[in-house]
């Protein structure tokens, strides 16, 4: 049986990565001798649940080889509102291998990394909420999948960095370290990008083939840009993009090209109270095709009974965003304990996007109690506004087709969370989310009367274990 073109592309992609990993520039050096293993730490003070593997872990690290295994699990329940009441359990086992190639094979500045996931359980948003801003950042279809695999070359003491392979934009772009505290997915990869980009963009759980160039001319200035395949799921008849690329090994170059660029300016002190902060500004462009939210191929409203029902295709898409992280207050004598704030905004044309603009913000308090210096309390708010064209289509449905459901307007989420450090390797995180206008005031598909999805109250618990 002859391999398909997709199989050939996948084999060529893996062969290229393996070939790059076998290339050893520079002069050979002696392999560094591992340090003597430290006495085993007790269960509640060690960094990892499984310890240092009887000295094997530090010995491998001395040779540039690092293995990380983490497990994130959640129990979430929709106690009011949404499409229906439901409790779910979901989990993600994370496996990462990283090789410092300078230590491992005397390749100066080289790094290789591969990450895979085993995802199980079912998501609350997909099965009970019907909302845009997914309730959990680990929610995804059940699968065992390759996520990212890349090779990185650094020059000039890491001031210049080139990364090539299967990459995830949400690892490096449009992110806020302060916002990462929260459970709702929108505080990771912003909801405006997840809703508008093809297959959600190159972000969890779908990475895409690409390349990233980073320049850091000074400690406080970072410039980076990346180019990705336009559709991380690839083409196919399956509507769910995660099912089109269930294993993460499709390595598709379909769907045009997605380009994103970002500049970040840091301040060690001087913006607010002499405390550190970071401001980022980014722009993205996508060369692929996008459905018009309002008009069909005949120029009629998609809500018109005479419409063809086929949306007009528009070529290309673009948008911009800004991120601001700032320390507001520090407990005397501490660099970490205190209050931090984040703010993110994003916007793009409404003529080819469901979400027109977006904003989120929040406060995080670290180490409020002397007895619990590593605990974290957070309060965050996210807001996604439906674009003008999509709302105009809903108004057309009212006037042309006699629809009775309201015009979509916005979706918002308010989240209160608390992270409890049980041990360096184990955290518990009770979480409360209030979701307003799930689906942006959309009608529930489970109700024949097409009533609007009610505001939801979500309670849950996340736990994270480092093995």
Span 139-174, pLDDT tens digits = 999 999 999 999 999 999 999 999 999 999 999 999
Cα(401)–Cα(291) distance, rounded to whole angstroms?
A: 21
Cα(14)–Cα(247) distance, rounded to whole angstroms?
A: 14
- Is residue 366 helix, strand or coil? strand
Q: What is the pTM of this model?
A: 0.89
Cα(295)–Cα(393) distance, rounded to whole angstroms?
A: 8
For 268, 289, 382, 408, the CA distances from 444, given in Å and listed in that order, are: 49, 28, 22, 12
Cβ–Cβ < 8 Å for 165, 149: yes
Cβ–Cβ < 8 Å for 209, 228: yes
Cβ–Cβ < 8 Å for 382, 186: yes
Q: Which residue shows structure tokens 């969890």? A: 204
Q: Which residue shows structure tokens 């704030």? A: 341
Burial environment of residue 35 by CB neighbours within 10 A (0 to 12, 13 to 18, 19 or more): exposed
- Is residue 200 helix, strand or coil? helix
pLDDT at 416: 98
Contacts 24+ apart (CB under 8 A), 13-16: 13/166, 13/209, 13/251
Residue ranges per structural domain of the chain: 44-466
Burial environment of residue 265 by CB neighbours within 10 A (0 to 12, 13 to 18, 19 or more): middle
Span 181-194, pLDDT tens digits = 999 999 999 999 99
pLDDT at 449: 63
> Any idea which fold 44-466 has?
Porin (2.40.160)
pLDDT at 17: 40
- The tokens describing 320, both together, are 């911009």
Cβ–Cβ < 8 Å for 318, 288: no
Cα(52)–Cα(467) distance, rounded to whole angstroms?
A: 10
Please state, as a whole number, how many other Cβ atoms lie within 10 Å of the Cβ of residue 390. Answer: 21
Cβ–Cβ < 8 Å for 438, 127: no
Length of the chain: 467
Query: Closest by alpha carbon to 356, among 403, 305, 411, 301?
Result: 411
Cβ–Cβ < 8 Å for 24, 95: no
Say whether the peptide bond before residue 343 is cis (omega within 30 degrees of 0). Answer: no
Cα(383)–Cα(256) distance, rounded to whole angstroms?
A: 29
Q: What residues form DSSP beta bridges with 321?
A: 282, 346
pLDDT at 38: 54
Please state, as a whole number, how many other Cβ atoms lie within 10 Å of the Cβ of residue 402. Answer: 8
- Is residue 276 helix, strand or coil? strand
Instruction: Give the chain's end-to-end CA distance (angstroms, integer).
Output: 42
Cβ–Cβ < 8 Å for 35, 451: no
Query: Closest by alpha carbon to 291, among 310, 313, 308?
Result: 313
Q: What contacts 61, CB < 8 A, 6 or more positions away?
A: none
Residues of the chain below pLDDT 70 = 1-40, 446-450
| DSSP secondary structure letter of residue 408 | P
pLDDT at 275: 92
Cβ–Cβ < 8 Å for 277, 243: no
Cβ–Cβ < 8 Å for 166, 209: yes
Please state, as a whole number, how many other Cβ atoms lie within 10 Å of the Cβ of residue 360. Answer: 28
């Amino acid at each position: 049986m002859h391999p398909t073109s997709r199989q050939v592309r996948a084999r060529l992609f893996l062969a290229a990565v393996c070939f790059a990993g076998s290339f050893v520039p520079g002069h050979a050096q002696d392999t560094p001798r591992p340090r003597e293993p430290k006495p085993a730490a007790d269960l509640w003070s060690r960094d990892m649940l499984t310890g240092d593997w009887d000295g094997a872990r530090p010995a491998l690290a001395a040779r540039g080889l690092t293995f990380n295994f983490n497990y994130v699990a959640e129990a979430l329940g929709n106690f009011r509102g949404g499409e229906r009441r439901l409790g779910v359990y979901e989990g993600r086992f994370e496996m990462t291998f990283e090789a410092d190639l300078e230590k491992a094979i005397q390749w100066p500045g080289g790094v290789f990394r591969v990450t895979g996931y085993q995802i199980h359980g079912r998501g609350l948003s997909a099965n009970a909420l019907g909302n845009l801003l997914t309730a959990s950042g680990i929610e995804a279809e059940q699968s065992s999948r390759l996520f990212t695999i890349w090779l990185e070359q650094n020059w000039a003491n890491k001031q210049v960095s080139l990364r090539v392979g299967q990459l995830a934009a949400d690892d490096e772009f449009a992110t806020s370290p302060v916002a990462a505290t929260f459970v709702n997915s929108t505080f990771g990869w912003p909801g405006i990008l997840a809703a508008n980009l093809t297959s959600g963009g190159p972000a969890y759980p779908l990475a895409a083939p690409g390349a990233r160039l980073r320049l850091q001319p000074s400690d406080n200035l970072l410039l980076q840009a990346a180019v990705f395949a336009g559709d991380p799921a690839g083409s196919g008849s399956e509507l769910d993009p995660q099912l089109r690329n269930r294993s993460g090994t499709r390595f598709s170059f379909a769907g045009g090209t997605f380009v994103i660029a970002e500049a970040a300016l840091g301040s060690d002190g001087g913006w607010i109270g002499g405390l550190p902060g970071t401001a980022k500004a980014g722009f993205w462009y996508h060369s692929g095709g996008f459905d018009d939210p309002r008009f069909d191929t005949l120029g009629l409203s998609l809500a018109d009974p005479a419409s063809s029902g086929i949306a007009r295709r528009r070529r290309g898409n673009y948008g911009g965003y800004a991120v601001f992280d700032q320390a507001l207050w520090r407990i005397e004598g501490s660099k970490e304990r205190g209050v931090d704030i984040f703010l993110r905004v994003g916007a793009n044309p409404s003529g080819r996007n469901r979400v027109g603009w977006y904003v989120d913000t929040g406060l995080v308090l670290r180490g409020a109690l002397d007895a619990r210096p590593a605990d974290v309390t957070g309060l965050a708010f996210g807001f996604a506004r439906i674009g003008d064209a999509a709302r105009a289509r809903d108004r057309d449905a009212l006037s042309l087709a006699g629809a009775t459901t309201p015009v979509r307007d916005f979706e918002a989420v308010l989240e209160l969370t608390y992270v409890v450090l049980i041990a360096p390797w184990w955290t518990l995180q009770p979480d409360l989310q209030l979701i307003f206008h799930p689906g942006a005031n959309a009608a529930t598909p489970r109700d024949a009367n097409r009533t609007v999805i009610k505001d939801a109250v979500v309670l849950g618990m996340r736990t994270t274990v480092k093995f």
